[in-house]
C-alpha cells in the first residue's frame, strides 16, 4: 500500500478541518495517509512515498526553517508541491514574475500613488497577517516603512472594494484539473475573523477567470498537486491575480462533495 504524509502544524489538535476528509479520501483511493507535524524531528520522511504539504500555516513566522525542511524532505522522497514551487510561492514577490495581470502593487514606502484607500502587507504572509487597510496615505507610507525597517518587503495596493460586492474568486485545481471555485469573504472589513476565511460559497467561475487561471498554471513550470488561484477584478472589470496559493491553501473541499476524491485521484496520478 502506498503511504503518504499529510504535513500539518503544531500539535494536530484539529484546527485543520480538511485533514480528516482528505485522509479518508486517500484511504478510499488506496493511499495510507498519516498526519505529521512538519517540524517534528522524530519523523522519518523517507518512509513515505510522498509528503504532501498541507496546513503548515505557521511557516509564515519561520520561512527559512520551513524551506530548509522542504529541501531536506525532497532529498529523501517525493514532495508535493515540489520544493522549487514552495520556495518561490512563499514570498509574494513571485507576483512580479508571473507575466499575467495582478493587483497593482507599489513595492516601497516611498512615492506612494494617490489611491482612495490603501492596503499594506508584507510579501511573506498568510491569513491577512500584518495586513492593514487605511485611507490615509501618510499612514500607509509609515506602515510600509515599518515593514522595511524590520527587513521585510512591503506591498502597497489600492483597496479593491469589489472584494465586498462581487467578492474574491478562488479556483481550485488538482493536478492541473479544475475541481471547483468559491467566492471568498473580504478579510479587511471590521469584525472579520479567520473563521470567515474558511467560509465561502461555491461559485461557477466566469470564462475570463478560467482563462486567466489557466494562463497562471501554464506559467508555472512544475507539476502541481494542488493550486488555488485567487482572483479579483480591477476597476475596468478585467480579472487579476491577487494571490497564487501553491503552498498551504485551504482547499474549500467541503464545498463540493466530489472534491476530496478528486484530490486523492490527483495524488494517485502523481505517485
Ligand X SMILES: Nc1ncnc2c1ncn2[C@@H]1O[C@H](COP(=O)(O)OP(=O)(O)O)[C@@H](O)[C@H]1O
Instruction: Give yes or no for residue 159 binding ligand X (CB under 6 A).
Output: yes
Of 94, 49, 76, nearest to 84 by C-alpha is 94
Question: What DSSP character marks residue 270?
Answer: H
Residues in binding contact with ligand X, number by CB under 6 A: 20
Instruction: Give yes or no for residue 186 binding ligand X (CB under 6 A).
Output: yes
With CB under 6 A as the contact rule, the residue among 160, 181, 220, 227 that binds ligand X is 160
For residues 208 and 101, the answer to whether their CB atoms sit within 8 Å is no
With CB under 6 A as the contact rule, the residue among 100, 128, 223, 234 that binds ligand X is 128
Q: Out of Mg ion, ligand X, none, which partner does residue 25 contact, by CB within 5 to 8 A per kind?
A: none
Q: Which is nearer to Mg ion, 33 or 154 (CB)?
A: 154
With CB under 6 A as the contact rule, the residue among 140, 144, 156, 242 that binds ligand X is 242
Closest residue (Cβ) to ligand X? Answer: 187
How many other C-beta atoms can be found within 10 angstroms of the C-beta atom of residue 104?
14
Of 91, 262, 101, 258, nearest to 176 by C-alpha is 262
Q: Which is nearer to ligand X, 242 or 267 (CB)?
A: 242
* Residue span 65-84 as binding mask against ligand X, x where in contact by CB under 6 A, dash where not: --------------------
Residue 227 and residue 256: Cα distance in Å, rounded? 16
Residue 224 and residue 246: Cα distance in Å, rounded? 8
With CB under 6 A as the contact rule, the residue among 127, 201, 218, 271 that binds ligand X is 127
Exposed (0-12), middle (13-18) or buried (19+): which is 1, by Cβ within 10 Å?
A: exposed
User: Residue 268 CB, nearest distance to Mg ion (Å)?
Assistant: 28
For residues 205 and 215, the answer to whether their CB atoms sit within 8 Å is no
Of 161, 106, 153, nearest to 135 by C-alpha is 161
DSSP 208-240: HHHHHHHHHHHT--S--SEEEEEEEE-TTS-EE
Instruction: Give yes or no for residue 243 binding Mg ion (CB under 5 A).
Output: yes
Exposed (0-12), middle (13-18) or buried (19+): which is 250, by Cβ within 10 Å?
A: buried
Among the listed ranges 67-75, 106-114, 127-135, 207-215, the one in contact with ligand X (CB under 6 A) is 127-135
For residues 110 and 141, the answer to whether their CB atoms sit within 8 Å is yes
Exposed (0-12), middle (13-18) or buried (19+): which is 41, by Cβ within 10 Å?
A: exposed
* Residue span 85-124 as binding mask against ligand X, x where in contact by CB under 6 A, dash where not: ------------------x---------------x-x---
Q: Which is nearer to Mg ion, 77 or 125 (CB)?
A: 125
Q: Which is nearer to Mg ion, 179 or 247 (CB)?
A: 247
Among the listed ranges 62-70, 106-114, 126-134, 206-214, the one in contact with ligand X (CB under 6 A) is 126-134
Residues that bind ligand X (CB under 6 A): 103, 119, 121, 125-129, 131, 157, 159-160, 163, 168, 186-188, 230, 242-243
Residues that bind Mg ion (CB under 5 A): 243
Amino acid at each position: 500500500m502506498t503511504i503518504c504524509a499529510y504535513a500539518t502544524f503544531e500539535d494536530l489538535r484539529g484546527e485543520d478541518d480538511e485533514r480528516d476528509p482528505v485522509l479518508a479520501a486517500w484511504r478510499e483511493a488506496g493511499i495510507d495517509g498519516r498526519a505529521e507535524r512538519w517540524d517534528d524531528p522524530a519523523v522519518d520522511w523517507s518512509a513515505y512515498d510522498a509528503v504532501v504539504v498541507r496546513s503548515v500555516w505557521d511557516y509564515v513566522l519561520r520561512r527559512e526553517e520551513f524551506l530548509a525542511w522542504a529541501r531536506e524532505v525532497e532529498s529523501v522522497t517525493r514532495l508535493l508541491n515540489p520544493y522549487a514551487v514552495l520556495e518561490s510561492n512563499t514570498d509574494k514577490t513571485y507576483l512580479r514574475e508571473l507575466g499575467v495581470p495582478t493587483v497593482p502593487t507599489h513595492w516601497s514606502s516611498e512615492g506612494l500613488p494617490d489611491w482612495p484607500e490603501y492596503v499594506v502587507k508584507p510579501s511573506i504572509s498568510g491569513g491577512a497577517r500584518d495586513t492593514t487597510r487605511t485611507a490615509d496615505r501618510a499612514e500607509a507610507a509609515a506602515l510600509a516603512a515599518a515593514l522595511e525597517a524590520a527587513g521585510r518587503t512591503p506591498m502597497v495596493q489600492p483597496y479593491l472594494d469589489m472584494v465586498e460586492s462581487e467578492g474574491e474568486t478562488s479556483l481550485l485545481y488538482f493536478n492541473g484539473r479544475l475541481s471547483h471555485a468559491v467566492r471568498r469573504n473580504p478579510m479587511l472589513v471590521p469584525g472579520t475573523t479567520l473563521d470567515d476565511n474558511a467560509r465561502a460559497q461555491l461559485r461557477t467561475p466566469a470564462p475570463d477567470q478560467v482563462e486567466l487561471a489557466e494562463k497562471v498554471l501554464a506559467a508555472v513550470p512544475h507539476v502541481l498537486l494542488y493550486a488555488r488561484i485567487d482572483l479579483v477584478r480591477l476597476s475596468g472589470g478585467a480579472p487579476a491575480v491577487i494571490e497564487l496559493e501553491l503552498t498551504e491553501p485551504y482547499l474549500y473541499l467541503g464545498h463540493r462533495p466530489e472534491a476530496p476524491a478528486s484530490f486523492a485521484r490527483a495524488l494517485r496520478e502523481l505517485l
